[in-house]
Amino acid sequence: MTLSIFKCISCDNEYDIQEIRYRCDCGELLEIIHDLSQSIPNPNDWKKSLDGQMTEIAFRRYQAVIFPSLPEDKLITLFEGDTPLYDISPKFPQFGSLHLKHEGLNPTLSFKDRGMVSGVSWANHLGCENVICASTGDTSAAMAAYAGAAPNMKGIVLLPNGKISPEQLAQPISFGALTVGIETDFDGCMKLVQQLTEKHNIYLLNSMNSVRIEGQKAIGIETLHQLNWEVPDWFVIPVGNAGNISALGKGLRELYELSIIDKLPRLAGIQTEGASPLYESYKNGFSELVPQQAQPTKASAIQIGDPVSYKKAIRELKYFDGIVEIVSETELMDWKVQIDRLGISICPNSAVAVAGAMKLRDAGLIKQKEEVVVILTAHGSKFSNTSVEYHKNSVNNFANQTLTIEPLLEELERTLKL
């Protein structure tokens, strides 16, 4: 076979990778299958070679497993990746170990840059001049930035009007994308963008485009490399449209199939109480997804009731003996603030995963000796309103209220109790 093909996740139909195509003729999602025996003929040698490639960007370093078909001269990068993996185990002895993989330290402050290095580079390779996405804020920021970095590409973003943070809105505008607010929620924007791209020649860069998923595999692969290929017991990750958990699973599965790793971690996907379609399906033995009207949440990036990549996510959750949990608004905000206090600024969506890990540990589903990696998906600075509002309100458990005083030394001394 050629190096990469599209394959239907349901009927196994195959398509040429050079086609612009997001779904199978049967209507199901596609995934990309690479002939890894060609791109990585000797997995052991490949694994050993990675340590000598730390000056390469992450996408290039792992490209043989991520997306070997992308020609080198088409790459559009903003030097994403190589994000920190914080070991916070000393503060949390209830775990065997606890690491936070901070994807908020990418160029546009979210993990979406990992998918856009592959998505926009592939669009560049295909010669697409117009790219589009629907977004809860982070996909649009990343797509706009990478389209801006490409030689000849215009970004168009569809956003649920009034439902994203001011910092997220500022990003696509600044990066020069045509920005359209739509009087609906994310699911409504997603439907519209699918209808539009079926009819018009505009390249779709949501994660239902499987090229994006390939780029996001780098998150799990890089984490394992940082852990010297010692596989943790759990990866815990927030779930919205369910692309990222699908990417994490696919990347780890491929490493396992290559015998780069010899153990499988378990996956835990975490949602909010008001936007929990995957959780409901999980509780019913991974029954057919029942779309929800997702309720407003501080974790606005995952306020999604009809996740597009649901079937891929289910498949990975089953393969990795996964579980799904939900957390409340209080739980997620209290954990956001407690992690922020360690000097690690996280967004409310990432905090959903942290709160989920804590809840699963408290319930004994994650056991005392188990090693856990939580994926943080965006930086706290993209959601500063949530922090300001939380700390203003003394009722909140960890509020750190700002004090305001007159410019007088005595008053300052009194305030500081000196």
Q: Which residues are at the interface with ligand F0G (CB under 6 A)?
A: 110, 112, 135-139, 207, 238-244, 301-302, 347, 349, 377-378
345, 381 contact by CB (below 8 A)? yes
Q: Quick one: which of 15, 31, 75 has its CA closest to 211?
A: 31
Distance CA 331, CA 171 (A): 29
- Of the pair 179, 377, the CB lying nearest ligand F0G is at 377
- Of the pair 112, 361, the CB lying nearest ligand F0G is at 112
Q: How far is the CB of 336 from ligand F0G (least distance, A)?
A: 12
Q: How far is the CB of 13 from ligand F0G (least distance, A)?
A: 24
298, 384 contact by CB (below 8 A)? no
Distance CA 363, CA 318 (A): 21
Distance CA 19, CA 338 (A): 47
CB proximity list for 91: less than 8 A, separation 6 or greater: 342
Q: How far is the CB of 120 from ligand F0G (least distance, A)?
A: 15
- Find the helix or strand (DSSP H, E) in which 50 lies: helix 43-50
Token pair recorded at residue 128: 């697409």
Q: How far is the CB of 85 from ligand F0G (least distance, A)?
A: 17
Q: How far is the CB of 229 from ligand F0G (least distance, A)?
A: 25
- Of the pair 34, 382, the CB lying nearest ligand F0G is at 382
- Of the pair 40, 205, the CB lying nearest ligand F0G is at 205
Q: How far is the CB of 82 from ligand F0G (least distance, A)?
A: 19
Token pair recorded at residue 218: 């780098």
- Of the pair 50, 192, the CB lying nearest ligand F0G is at 192
Longest dimension (CA), the chain: 79
